[in-house]
Structure 1
Amino acid sequence: MKPGIVTDAASLTLALEPLSGEQVVEGSPRTGFAELTDTIGVWEHTPGVSTDVEADEVFVVLSGSATVSFDDPALEPIELRAGAVARLTAGMRTVWTVRETLRKVYILG
């Protein structure tokens, strides 16, 4: 993404692929992403439940709804919907329960 160029993150076409079997908890979720720079991108997850080990990132949800729960019992699950801003840290183990296809813009770091 070059300076002065606009990308419509909400309608950007993403190539969605099935998650690996060990990540899928329920359903047949698919994910895809587009890197806009080395540290900024757009990510999408279709309905279903999956596990992940997170990178250090801040993100803004553009559309969809989901609940993210954590293996760490000290952390409460978070509810995501359009407009939500969240931060995850590297190494967090999460479970994503996506009810409506979720799209976010993330910034790594």
Structure 2
Amino acid sequence: MNHPFALLANHCVAASQLALDYQPLPPEKIVTGAPRVGTAELGRLGDCCLGVWELTPSVSTDVEADEFFIVLSGAATVTFADGTPSLQLHAGSVGRLRAGTATTWTVTETLRKVYVILDADGAA
């Protein structure tokens, strides 16, 4: 998730327009579609990592980190393997994911979010 961009103190960035590094998702995470994930790590503050993340339309699975996020654009539904009620995400949604939670992401419109991940071991 490293990106050559670093957000400097006393500066800002247009996260909705930031160029991201895109990669295909690992095949074992793909349910349907050909998803690509874009990321840009903006910096760290203590044990937290801040960045921008984007996923193209598709259905995929993940195991979550301890994360807060704000959706900038797009639409998706996140379902939880443990039966927790689904999240309906759209621009302006603010959410939190618990580390270790198994999820399925159904992205109907390319979803871009700003995330803050608690990363006590130093590896985002």
TM-score of the aligned structures, taking structure 2 as reference length? 0.85
Cα distance, 1:2 vs. partner? 1.3
Equivalent AA in structure 2 for residue 44 of structure 1: E
Aligned residue in 2 for 1:41: 51
TM-aligned CA deviation for residue 42 of structure 1:
0.2
1:107 aligns with 2:116: yes
Distance in 1 between the 2:108 and 2:87 partners?
Answer: 14
Alignment partner of 1:22: what SS? helix
Distance in 1 between residues matched to 2:38 and 2:74, nearest whole Å: 15
In the alignment, structure 1 residue 19 sits paired with structure 2 residue 25 = yes
Q: Which runs of 5+ in 1 are unaligned?
A: none
Displacement of 1:14: 0.7
Q: 2:90 aligns with which of 50, 74, 81?
A: 81
Structure 1 residue ranges (4+ consecutive) displaced by more than 6 angstroms after TM superposition? none
Which has the higher mean CA deviation after the structures are superposed, 56-65 or 35-44?
35-44
Percent identity reads 54
Q: Count matched residues.
A: 108
In the TM superposition, what is the alpha-carbon distance from 1:71 to its structure 2 partner? Answer: 0.4
